[in-house]
Amino acid sequence: MAATSLNQERLQEICGSLREQLFRNGTTGLSGVARIFRQADFNGNKKLDREEFDEALSFCGLFLKSQDTSFLFKNFDRDGDGNINYNELLLGIQLPLSAPRLAMVERAFKKMDRDGSRVLDVKDLESVYDASKHPDVLEGKKTEAQVSVEFLKGFEGGKQRDGRVTFDEFKSYYQDLGASIPSDEYFVAMMQSVWKIRAASAAACEHDSMIKTYTGLLKQKVAQKTKTGQRLSLTLKGIFDFFDADESKAITKGEFSQALVRLGIPLNDKDLGIFFTYFAGSDGRISTAEFIGKMELDD
């Protein structure tokens, strides 16, 4: 057990060294490294032998001591055939977003997601991205809409890119980028600068904490009312529909308050206003999609 722990510790130190080098080299995430690895993969089997691996690291400007390279290679040579799956290696170098980073990514996404759909499209960009100043638009080569779609595609992973970005895709983009930014403080400052996000005030932090608390409590209440085998989202939809008196598939602040009281979560006017605004769209009403989508239930 102790040996395993030491191996993991050394592996993390080596991966940390690679992240530090990426940062110093100015590499924007692991996408550039992945591209070089793919180029080194001559037979297209998504694996590299030791010689190809050494050469690929060199092309990336990443250098390790010989014994560290051997240790890294051995750890990712899962089946002992003398090859490593470089996608597994990249995932090993990449770290999940820490709490401060994830909070900034969520704030940036929410700033663009004007309709609360959890999917970004060209319309969402209108208030935060001015495509009219793009050189291709000024030269008449592309329309503003074309430039905006291309901007969104940059956040999408995989080969199928439709110009619509989900939160998971947006988060994955910054998780990749964050691999070359070892400092949380630097990452947060970068996000604030790029997306023109103000540092969170004490009041904003308090609001976020309150919303998280009430959302968690609401999930518990829904789970209590859900029969075994039934989806939580169906229970939530049923509660939502019950208080949608005019069957408009959207509820007002008053109807929302009644629903919460019925669930055993009575709120004062201040907290109700903050909690309602969290779910509500620009029309001041909560649609079924907005409500269930933001609850992020584990169905």
Contacts of 150 (CB under 8 A, 6+ apart): 142, 163
| CATH number of the domain within which 243 lies | 1.10.238.10
Buried/exposed 22-45: b ≥16 CB within 10 Å, e otherwise: beeeebebbeebbebbeebbeeee
Same domain, 185 and 231: no
Per-residue model confidence (pLDDT) at position 1: 45
Q: Which residue, 60, 93, 126, sits at the end of a domain?
A: 93
Per-residue model confidence (pLDDT) at position 180: 78
Residues comprising the chain, all counted: 299
- Per DSSP, the residues of 185-252 read HHHHHHHHHHTTPPPPPHHHHHHHHHHHHHHHHHHHHHHHTSPTT--HHHHHHHHHHHH-TT-SSEE-
Per-residue model confidence (pLDDT) at position 67: 94
Distance in angstroms (rounded) separating the CA atoms of residues 198 and 206: 16
Per-residue model confidence (pLDDT) at position 205: 66
Same domain, 182 and 217: no
Q: Looking at the 3D structure of the chain, how many domains does it have?
A: 3
Structural domain of 219: 202-295
Same domain, 67 and 48: yes
- Give the chain's count of helices (H) and strands (E): 16, 6
The candidate with the shortest Cα–Cα distance to 215, out of 263, 171, 169, is: 263
Q: Which residue, 93, 126, 154, sits at the end of a domain?
A: 93
CA–CA distance from 259 to each of 111, 214, 218, 285, 288 (Å)?
28, 13, 11, 14, 13
Per-residue model confidence (pLDDT) at position 46: 86
Same domain, 31 and 8: yes
CA–CA distance from 95 to each of 33, 45, 146, 285 (Å)?
15, 25, 33, 38
Token pair 């004007």 is found at 114
Same domain, 24 and 44: yes
Same domain, 21 and 53: yes
Distance in angstroms (rounded) separating the CA atoms of residues 59 and 33: 9
Q: Which residue, 93, 122, 156, sits at the end of a domain?
A: 93
Helix, strand, coil distribution of the chain in percent, nearest 5: 60, 5, 35
Contacts of 126 (CB under 8 A, 6+ apart): none
Per the rule left: phi > 0, alpha: psi between -120 and 50, beta: everything else, 163 is: left
The candidate with the shortest Cα–Cα distance to 23, out of 15, 97, 82, is: 15
Per-residue model confidence (pLDDT) at position 3: 57
- Per DSSP, the residues of 59-102 read HTT----HHHHHHHHHHH-TTSSSEEEHHHHHHHH--PPPHHHH
Per-residue model confidence (pLDDT) at position 53: 92
Per-residue model confidence (pLDDT) at position 282: 63
**Residue type (1 letter), 8:** Q
- pTM value is 0.56
Same domain, 208 and 144: no
Same domain, 206 and 185: no
Per-residue pLDDT 10s for the chain (299 aa) are 455 667 888 888 998 888 888 888 775 668 788 888 889 888 888 889 999 999 999 998 899 999 999 999 999 888 888 999 888 888 888 878 888 888 889 988 988 888 788 888 888 887 777 778 777 888 888 888 888 888 888 888 766 677 789 998 898 888 888 877 878 888 888 888 878 887 766 566 677 778 888 888 888 888 888 888 788 888 888 877 887 877 888 888 888 888 888 888 888 888 888 888 888 866 778 887 777 777 877 66
Same domain, 120 and 55: no
Per-residue model confidence (pLDDT) at position 200: 62
Tokens of 218: 């609401």
